[in-house]
A and B are shown apart, each in its own frame.
Chain A
Amino acid sequence: MTEAPAYAQAKSREIAPALLLGGLAVLVCVLAVASLFIGRLGIGGVADLIAVRGQDPETFRILLIEVRLPRTVLALTVGATLGLSGAVLQGLLRNPLAEPFILGASSSAALGAVIVFYFGVAGGAALATPLGGVAGTMVATAALLALGGRAQEPLTLILAGVALNALAAALTSLALNLAPSPYAALEIVFWILGSFADRSLDHLVLALPLMGIGWILLFSTWRALDALTLGEDAAASLGFNLAAIKIRAILGCAFAVGAAVATTGVISFVGLVVPHVLRPFVGYRPSRLLPASLLGGAALMLAADIGVRLIDTQLELKIGVVTALIGTPFFFHLLYVMRRSGQ
Chain B
Amino acid sequence: MTTSPHFEVDSLSVQYDDVRVLDQISFAANGGSLIGLIGPNGAGKTTLIKAMAGLLTTSSGTMSLDAKPLAAWSQDALAQKIGYLSQSRIVHWPVTVDRLVSLGRLPHRGPWDGVSDTDQAAIDEALALTDVEALRSRTVTTLSGGELARVLLARVLAGEPQVILADEPVSGLDPGHRLQVLSGLKRLSADGRLVVVVLHDLTLASRFCDRLILLHEGCVAADGTPEKVLGPEILASVYGVKAVTVSHGDETTVLPWSHI
Contact = CB atoms under 8 A, between A and B. Distances in A.
Interface in B46-85: 50, 53-55, 75-76, 78-80, 82-85
Interface string B171-206: 000000000000000000000000000000000000
Contacts of A12: 96, 139
A232 to B, nearest CB: 9
B86 to A, nearest CB: 5
Given A2-B141, A227-B106, A237-B79, 12 more contacts: A9-B141, A12-B139, A227-B103, A229-B95, A229-B100, A230-B91, A233-B53, A233-B88, A234-B86, A236-B54, A236-B55, A238-B104
Interface string B154-176: 01000100000000000000000
Interface string A189-228: 0000000000000000000000000000000000100111
A231 interface: yes
Interface of B: 50, 53-55, 75-76, 78-80, 82-86, 88-96, 99-100, 103-104, 106-107, 111, 139-145, 148, 152, 155, 159
Interface in A74-99: 94
Interface string A41-79: 000000000000000000000000000000000000000
A116 to B, nearest CB: 37
Residue from the set B94, B100, B107, B159 with the largest chain A CB neighbour count within 10 Å = B94
B91 A229 contact: yes
B230 to A, nearest CB: 29
Contacts of A236: 54-55
A240 interface: yes
A10 to B, nearest CB: 8
Contact of B84 (A8, A233, A285): A233
A234 B80 CA distance: 13
Contact of A237 (B55, B90, B95): B55
B224 to A, nearest CB: 28
B91 A239 contact: no
**Top 9 A-B residue pairs of the complex, sorted by shortest distance between their CB atoms:** A239-B79, A237-B84, A94-B92, A4-B141, A8-B94, A284-B93, A239-B76, A239-B75, A1-B145
Contact of B78 (A152, A231, A239): A239
Given A283-B95, A285-B99, A226 B84 contact: no
A161 interface: no
Residue from the set A3, A228, A284 with the largest chain B CB neighbour count within 10 Å = A284
Given A2-B143, A230-B86, A233-B88, A241 B75 contact: yes
Interface residues of A, number: 30
A94 B95 CA distance: 13
A12 B91 CA distance: 16
Nearest to B111: A223
B58 to A, nearest CB: 15
A136 interface: no
27 contacts: A1-B145, A2-B140, A2-B141, A2-B148, A3-B141, A4-B94, A8-B94, A8-B141, A152-B90, A230-B86, A230-B91, A230-B152, A233-B53, A233-B84, A233-B88, A234-B85, A237-B53, A237-B54, A237-B79, A237-B86, A239-B78, A239-B80, A239-B106, A279-B93, A283-B95, A283-B96, A284-B95
Given A8-B94, A240-B75, A284-B93, A233 B140 contact: no
A297 interface: no
A8 B141 CA distance: 8
A229 B103 contact: yes
Contact of B103 (A9, A230, A279): A230
A231 B90 contact: yes
A283 B79 CA distance: 26
A284 B106 contact: no
B158 to A, nearest CB: 11
Contacts of A94: 92-93
A1 B93 contact: no
A343 B107 CA distance: 32
Nearest to A93: B92
A12 B107 CA distance: 27
